[in-house]
A = this chain, B = another copy of it.
């Protein structure tokens, strides 16, 4: 069945691995009969900084409250054209794919600024004017899928269960859980290619092939089983009930199947030797 997929990417260099993987996305999804929308943030000269210019008609001209002004601008359709256009693309899409190089264990600033600005109050948080009532499994984007595709400079063992950087899925939790599952997306396990600083042609080809497989299963693969806020696992103050993930603390307790192996099997790990 034909779907619509929005590919958002943050890498200006056409020959980079990230851009090669974006090309694979466009070709592979189009060949599957899907419609592909694109947000090439560098080419769009996307404004990264969320500031007073995001609110051309202020609710309060004296004091800049980002939350209050974002809610006001979204509700009264007084957002800037660039933000409204991106929201329309997100709302029209069945799935979002974010493709970027990992910079300091997170997104490049230009992509963080896409989240900061496009994820308006009333849409991505404060849904239905009900504070935090609808989030983590509920929200404006429920029924849509999202996935990260990340080019990582370092070697995979740095990101292993006991590797010095920390496991990639935990480093990206503020994005996968906090920025995507929060407003309602089903989030697929992250696709990562390691060692991109010195990738051989063979490794790049293997990465692209692994990415094609993930794209072919974009609407079939199971999402990360994050626990829904209103599914019975949490107390009224949004803490895990004692019998849920008993004795566990921290980020991973919010994934229903604590057997991390399941999601890690899906994570394609393509690496090259690290240059010395």
User: Given the interface contacts A164-B238, A167-B249, A250-B250, does A51 sit within 8 Å of B12 by beta carbon?
Assistant: yes
How many copies of this chain does one complex carry?
A: 2
Cα A98 to Cα B168 in complex, Å, equals: 24
Task: Report A202-240 residues with CB < 8 Å from chain B CB.
Answer: 229, 234, 237-240
Write the A121-140 contact mask toward B (1 if CB under 8 angstroms, else 0): 00000000001100010000
A166 at interface (Cβ–Cβ under 8 A)?
A: yes
A105 is contacted by which of B13, B164, B178, B240 (Cβ under 8 Å)? B178
A23 at interface (Cβ–Cβ under 8 A)?
A: no
Cα A110 to Cα B47 in complex, Å, equals: 10
Chain B: minimal CB distance from A148 (Å):
14
Q: Which among A13, A46, A108 has the greatest number of chain B C-beta atoms within 10 A?
A: A108
Chain-B contact segment, one of A29-37, A61-69, A73-81, A84-92? A61-69
With a CB–CB cut-off of 8 A, which chain B residues contact A52? 12
Contact B171 A166 (CB under 8 A): no
Q: Which among A116, A153, A171, A253 has the greatest number of chain B C-beta atoms within 10 A?
A: A116
- Interface of chain A: mostly helix, strand, loop or mixed: loop
A112 at interface (Cβ–Cβ under 8 A)?
A: yes
Cα A253 to Cα B238 in complex, Å, equals: 25
A200 at interface (Cβ–Cβ under 8 A)?
A: no
A274 at interface (Cβ–Cβ under 8 A)?
A: yes
A109 at interface (Cβ–Cβ under 8 A)?
A: yes
Top 7 closest pairs, chain A to chain B, by CB: A109-B113, A105-B174, A105-B178, A48-B48, A161-B249, A164-B238, A109-B112
